[in-house]
Amino acid sequence: MRALATAAILATQAALGCAAARQHDVATPAFSAGPLRPVTRGVSAEELVRAPGTVATYAVFEGNRKGAVIEQRVERRGEELVAVEMLLTQGKPAEPSEEMRFSRGADGSLVLREVVTHAEKSASLFDDGLPFAAALAAPSSALEGESAMRVLTLPKRTPRGSGRASRSLRLAGESTVSVGGEKLEASVLDLVFDIELDVAKAHVTARLYVAEGRGVVAEERIEELRVLGIFPRRTVEHTVLTSLETTP
**What average pLDDT does range 195-210 have in this prediction?**
95
The arithmetic mean of pLDDT across residues 25-38, rounded, is 83
> What confidence category does residue 25 fall into, taking pLDDT thresholds of 50, 70 and 90?
low
Q: Determine the pLDDT at residue 93.
A: 81
Q: What is the mean pLDDT of residues 97-112?
A: 95
Is the pLDDT at 229 greater than 90, yes or no? no
DSSP state of 30: -
Q: What is the pLDDT of residue 102?
A: 98
∠4-211-52 over CA atoms, to 5°?
60
Task: Say if residues 124 and 150 touch (Cβ distance below 8 Å).
Answer: yes
CATH code given to domain 7-246: 2.40.360
Look at residue 183 in the predicted model and tell me its pLDDT.
97
Give me the residue spans of the domains in the chain: 7-246
Residue 175 has a pLDDT of 98
Dump pLDDT digits (tens) for 130-144: 999 999 998 878 999
Percent over 70 (pLDDT), the chain: 88
- Checking if the pLDDT of 19 tops 80, the result is no
